[in-house]
Amino acid sequence: MDRALRSRLERRFGDCLLAPVAQRHDQTEIRVSAGDATDTIRALHDEPDLHFTLLADLAGVDTGTHMQVVYHLWAETSTDWLRVVVDGLDREAPRCPSVTFLWKGAEWMEREAYDMFGIVFEGNRDVRRIYLPAAYTSFPLRKDFHLPDDASRSPGRGVRPMEESLPPRDATSATNLRRAQAG
């Protein structure tokens, strides 16, 4: 745990943090609003005492009440990974500033978060679906997304045909009896 990093983050971003700096094992976490995301991430990248130059991952999160964007950053200046959580995005119209001005590779990560969660990254020149067809209207990793067959999972509906337990094709009644007695 890099306590010096925690101090630098508290000193530099204390007024815009939504929660105290959290640390666990080799990971430090800060939470900021979407309005402070661009300035925070630019400072993390550009300032020499921080210098988080590697964007390892960017992911969307649906908490059930609001949306988040989570960035995992790495720097030579710290032994900790830094998790930046952009918190409190509106579920009905989630929007977050793009970080493609710092990391060109973020374009694909932002497209994935858009495709799965519907988060629009303002400033990304190519926000469009990456996995699903362009005409698809839903976002499959959101908590309010349901498959057409989800009703069959209710206790009163029984087992769906694809989930039925079937014996092997070459099993005989004697084989099934031995299995039942052994189990």
Contacts of 144 (CB under 8 A, 6+ apart): none
Mean pLDDT of 79-83: 94
CATH 3.30.460.80 fits 3-147, yes or no: yes
**pLDDT value for 137:** 83
Q: Mind listing the pLDDT tens digit for each residue in 9-45? A: 999 998 999 999 999 999 999 999 999 999 999 999 9
Do 118 and 130 contact (CB within 8 A), yes or no? no
Residue 71, classed as helix, strand or coil, is strand
Q: Mind listing the pLDDT tens digit for each residue in 127-155? A: 889 998 888 888 889 888 776 655 555 55
